[in-house]
Amino acid sequence: MGFGLVNCLFLAIAAVSPVAIKGLSYGWVQAPSLMIFHALVSAAMVYAAKEKMRGSDLGHKAFPAAIMSYVLWLCMALRWLTQ
């Protein structure tokens, strides 16, 4: 759950003030679709972690899906950085 919250914090900081990564700015103006997907993935990760800690079946099924969606977002972000 902490990893999802750290992602939410990073996203909030990047939304207010763009963060420079490898010479590119990661902010709302520069990468809005990437930031929207980042927010959805972070929220799914936090929700799945909470459900998993509660011991629900949904949490045990959603947590691996949230991890894979984060990997997909990471691939998209790395592709964006190579442009």
pTM of the model: 0.80
Q: Is residue 1 over pLDDT 80?
A: no
Q: What angle do CA 12, 23, 43 make, to 5 degrees?
A: 25
What percent of the chain is predicted at pLDDT more than 90? 36
**Length of the chain counted residue by residue:** 83
Residue 75 has pLDDT above 90, yes or no: yes
Q: Average model confidence (pLDDT) for the chain?
A: 89
50, 59, 61, 73 from 14: Cα distances, Å: 25, 28, 30, 16
